[in-house]
Amino acid sequence: MSISFALTSGLAISRYDSMEQAFLQFLANQKQTLPTDGLGIGDDAAVLAWPADSKLVVCTDLISDETDFHLAEVTPQQIGRKALAINLSDIAAMACQPVGALLTLLLPGGEASLELAQGIYQGAAKLGEQFNCPIIGGDTNSWPGKVAVSITVLGRCPFAKPLLRQGAQPGDAIFVTGSLGGSILGHHLDFIPRVDEALALTQTCGLTAGMDISDGISIDLPRLCKQSSVGAEIDVRQLPLTAAAQQLSQKSGKPVWWHGLNDGEDFELLFTVPAADADQLLAQWTNATPITRIGTIRPERELTMLGDDGTRQPLLPEGFSH
C-alpha cells in the first residue's frame, strides 16, 4: 500500500514509494535554524517555546499551478518562495513576527516529483532563513492532477495587539509601502514581504489599521473600510507606480494608474495613520522601502478617487481575482 508521510510525524512512508523515501532523506540532511528549545522535522510533531504574554498569530494560504503560477514558466524554487512569501506578507499585515512554517505539497505523480518537491522546499526554506521562519514540518502526497502548495505560518505579536483592518478613523491618512502595479511581469514571484517595515512603522507611529495588498487597492481598500465602518478617497496622481505598470499601460491602453490600482499581487502594506502623525511619519521614515500617502479616510461610507484630471469619481473594484 502507499502511505503519504507527514514531515513532523515520524515520517511514515511506504516501503514501495522511492520518491517519498528519497525526499525523506533529503529533508533529514537539511539544516534548520531553530531555537535550542525548539524541535522541527523528525518527530511526531514540531515543538516551539511560546512566551506566556505573547499572542499566537496563524495564517495559511494555498497556491496552485495555472492559478498562481505556470509550472512550465517558473522554477520549483520560485514556487516555494512565493508560497511562503504570501503568508509572510499576511503576518506583516498584522505587524507580527514569523516564527515557523508548515509546508504541505500535493504533487503530480511521475519521476519529476522528487526534484519538484526538493526545489519547492529549498525556495521556501531560503526565504524562511531571511525572516527567521524555518520550515518545521508539513505533509506531502501525490495525485494525477497539478501541483499545489499550502503553507501555514505561525507568528508572534510583539506589541499589545496585532494591527487589524478595523480601527481606521475619519481623517486618517492612507499610506502604502513600495510601488504598485505590473506584478504579473515578475514581481509576484520575487517580492519581499514587508515584515521589517511593518514592525518599524508600528514602533514609529500609531497605526490605526492595516492589511497587505494582494488583490489590488480597488478591492483591498474597501475591505479595510468595511471592517472600520468608514469610507475613503484616494488620489491616483499620488500612487507610487512601477516601471512594469508603465509597460503594461503601453500594451493595454489603460492609464498607468489603473494598473497601480488593479493589477493585484503587489503584496505591499496598505495602512492608515492619524492625520496629525502623517507629516511626522514621513519626516522620520528612513527605511529603504519608501512610503507614500495616497488618500484620506472619510466618514461617508463610500469609496471615491480623484482622477488624473482631479475630478472625483467612484473607486470601482476592478482588482485581480484569484
Binding-site residues for substrate sit at: 68, 265
Q: Is the pLDDT of residue 322 over 80?
A: no
pTM above 0.85, yes or no: yes
Binding-site residues sit at: 44, 60-61, 68, 90, 121, 138-139, 165, 212, 214-215, 265
Q: pLDDT tens-digit profile of 194-238? A: 999 999 999 999 999 999 999 999 999 999 999 999 999 999 999
- CA gap 221, 210 in Å, rounded: 9
Domains in the chain and their CATH numbers?
Answer: 18-157 (3.30.1330.10), 173-314 (3.90.650.10)
Q: Would you place residue 35 in the very low, low, confident or very high pLDDT band (cuts 50, 70, 90)?
A: low
Collapsing DSSP to helix, strand or coil, 80 comes out as helix
Q: pLDDT tens-digit profile of 182-196? A: 999 999 999 999 999
Binding-site residues for ATP sit at: 121, 138-139, 165, 214
Nearest CA among 62, 265, 77, 269 for reference residue 182: 265
Exposure letters 224-235 (e unless 16+ CB within 10 A, then b): bbeebebbbbbb
- CA gap 101, 121 in Å, rounded: 11
Binding-site residues for Mg(2+) sit at: 44, 60-61, 90, 139, 212, 215
Q: pLDDT tens-digit profile of 154-180? A: 999 999 999 999 999 999 999 999 999
Q: What sign does the dihedral 216-217-219-224 (CA atoms) show?
A: positive
Are the C-beta atoms of residues 269 and 201 closer than 8 Å to each other? yes
